[in-house]
Amino acid sequence: MNGGYEMRNWLRDSMMAGVAVICVLSLAALPGAAQAPAYRAPRTADGKPDLNGIWQALNTADWDLEGHAAAAGPVPLLGAVFAKAPGLGVVEGDEIPYLPAMAAKKKENQANWAKLDPEVKCYLPGIPRANYLPYPFQIVQSQNNILISYEYAGAVRVINMGAPTKAPADSWMGWSNGHWEGETLVIDVTDQNEDTWFDRSGNFHSDALHVVERYTPRSADTLNYEATIEDAKVFSRPWKISMPLYRRVEKNARLLEYKCPEFAEELLYGPLRKKPTN
């Protein structure tokens, strides 16, 4: 008797366990099961995702794209002022794949960044660095073009949203052709000169730099920014950075003037001015 009773209980428990497993597997097989729906941004008049607004990165990528510890600044007498802030890094895999000879140049740049970094000299920052400098930038959309205006040094670029066009010449901010892929603004950037850096740690590129940017709304006040970087003269393979960008939501948010050439005049031209003329 007891044996039969135990057998019935065992069969019942086994059947219930089997039903539970089937239910779990069925739910897992349903598309989007237990997943929140993807965010859909408000639309502009032409039906495209509305990215209009003032945005800013809140990270330490301008110090170093790769993960890094805190470090002393370039002028020891200033103490903690201008000390390097620690950061987790924004590079996929947390390593930039330099060719061996180019890695040596990066280390030389890093050792002398306070003299060599184009940001120190108020040169235009290039792409992608313009997007994670510690200053806001503004996106203004129209149907045919998108304007991105940066607070730093008054930098500006216009993204062509029509048929792709070719650059007449290399430039500091490069040549940008854009298109939409669903919710994502994709910008193909070419023809940047080789004089910009990616950060204050000496990460650099050549005139062969090719950047593909992706701006994807993730909520009302955040964008996900990705940039895939390719330069066969400097890197062994393409690599990618990603980070959130945050909307400036102050009621009076706007870009302010930050014209920095006068701050760099002494560094750039002081030695020339001080030399006696014959």
Rounded to the nearest 5°, which phi and psi values hold at 16?
-65, -40
pLDDT tens digits, one per residue of 121-133: 999 999 999 999 9
Does position 6 have pLDDT exceeding 80, yes or no? Answer: no
Whether the Cβ atoms of residue 243 and residue 61 lie closer than 8 Å to each other: yes
The mean per-residue pLDDT over the stretch 186-200 comes to 97
Q: pLDDT class for 33, splitting at 50, 70, 90?
A: very low
Residue 98: name the closest of 204, 242, 228 by CA: 204
* Mean pLDDT calculated for residue range 131-148: 96
Tell the residue number behind the tokens 């057998």, with chain if given: 7
d(CA 150, CA 214): 18
Average of pLDDT values for 196-206? 97
Segment 166-179 mean pLDDT: 97
What are the start-end ranges of the H helices in 67-120? 100-111, 113-116
Give backbone dihedrals phi and psi of 270, rounded to 5 degrees, phi first: -55, -45
Whole-number CA gyration radius for the chain: 26
pLDDT at position 87, please? Answer: 93
pLDDT at 143: 85
pTM, to two decimals? 0.84
